[in-house]
């Protein structure tokens, strides 16, 4: 699943790649920042950051799980399903993703 960053995050992505050795924003920091935005109901901004998180850390099940949660909160059920499936592909032991996926798939079908 390829996620394209939006223009707001494209600049950050380019700068992170140019200065990879000096970059201080790691996966945990980005996830915390995006989660805080999501909790404060700034869903478009949170989704943008989670998308960037997935792009920067494509092998992270947590990145996909978090993006799935943000899409779920935004009512974008199919995108939530897609990201929870990817999270489970990367970490089949993620019970929380399994439960959320079951609920979402019942609601969609």
- pTM of full prediction above 0.95: no
Q: What is the pLDDT of residue 26?
A: 85
Query: Tens digit of pLDDT for each residue in 55-106?
Result: 999 999 999 999 999 999 999 999 999 999 999 999 999 999 999 999 999 9
Q: What is the pLDDT of residue 19?
A: 54
Decide which of 1.10.3720.10, 1.25.40.10, 1.10.357.10, 3.40.640.10 is the CATH code for 26-108: 1.25.40.10
Model confidence at 109, pLDDT cuts 50, 70, 90, reads confident
Long-range CB pairs of 57-64 (<8 Å, 24+ gap) are 57/27, 59/90, 60/27, 60/90, 61/86, 61/87, 61/88, 61/90, 61/91, 61/94, 61/97, 62/27, 62/31, 62/87, 63/27, 63/31, 64/90
Query: Tens digit of pLDDT for each residue in 8-60?
Result: 566 556 655 665 555 566 899 889 999 999 999 999 999 999 999 999 999 99
Cα 90 to Cα 22, 63, 93: the distances in Å are: 28, 10, 9
């Amino acid at each position: 699943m390829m996620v394209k960053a939006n223009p707001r995050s494209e600049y950050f992505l380019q700068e992170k790649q140019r200065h990879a050795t000096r970059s201080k924003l790691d996966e945990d920091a980005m996830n915390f920042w995006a989660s805080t935005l999501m909790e404060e109901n700034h869903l478009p901004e949170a989704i943008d950051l989670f998308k960037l998180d997935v792009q920067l850390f494509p092998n992270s099940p947590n990145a996909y799980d978090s993006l799935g949660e943000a899409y779920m909160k935004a009512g974008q059920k199919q995108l939530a399903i897609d990201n929870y499936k990817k999270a489970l592909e990367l970490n089949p032991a993620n019970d929380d993703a399994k439960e959320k996926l079951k609920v979402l798939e019942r609601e969609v079908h």
